[in-house]
Amino acid sequence: MRKVRGFTLLEIMIVMILGTGSVLWASSIREVFVRAETAKRLDRDAQLLLKSMNLFYVRNCTVIPFPTVSEARLRADNILVGGNFINPWGGGYQLSIVRLQPTNPQLRVSLVFKNTNDANYVSGFSSNAKVSGSTVTWTSYSTLNRNSAGITRQLERQAFGIPMC
């Protein structure tokens, strides 16, 4: 019997199957990490927008009529610099300031997703996000009535019978 150097077809097939399996496993693990990082980025973006909206409210609370808040307006007022607020799983951010209590308005950032699974997944990475269907809403309250300038402004306006904002 002669010795032949090289690999048999069976050995090559086993190596190919193992290599393909390890590549597929690595790509699925990477996909999980990318999805989690995207959810964390969306939460960080929402928190940044809330902080920017707070500064916008503090600057504009006495302006009549109160201007509508938007990402473009925050950029125009040089409150929000940089950042690229894109949701890869759905629609864009909706910003709103609910002023039912003028001394303590609620700041809201809402994000609409294509499905409820993505919305639930993203809300799991935030402490102040609430899910309603396929919409995730982050809320915060203005700090105007919690700092000395805001309290002074509130007391001055109340002394003259004028609402805070």
Q: How far apart are CA 111 and CA 45, in angstroms?
A: 11
Query: In which order are the strands placed within the sheet that holds 90-98?
Result: 90-98, 106-113, 135-141, 129-132
Q: How far is CA 29 from CA 24, 26, 88, 93, 126, in A?
A: 9, 5, 19, 29, 22
- Residue 66 token pair: 């109160």
pLDDT in tens, 73-86: 998 888 888 777 88
Half-sphere exposure of 51 (CA within 13 A, CB side): 8
* pLDDT at residue number 20: 83
Q: How far apart are CA 33 and CA 43, in angstroms?
A: 15
Residue 45 host element (H or E): helix 9-60
Model confidence at 163, pLDDT cuts 50, 70, 90, reads low
pTM as predicted: 0.72
pLDDT in tens, 26-53: 777 777 788 889 889 889 989 999 999 9
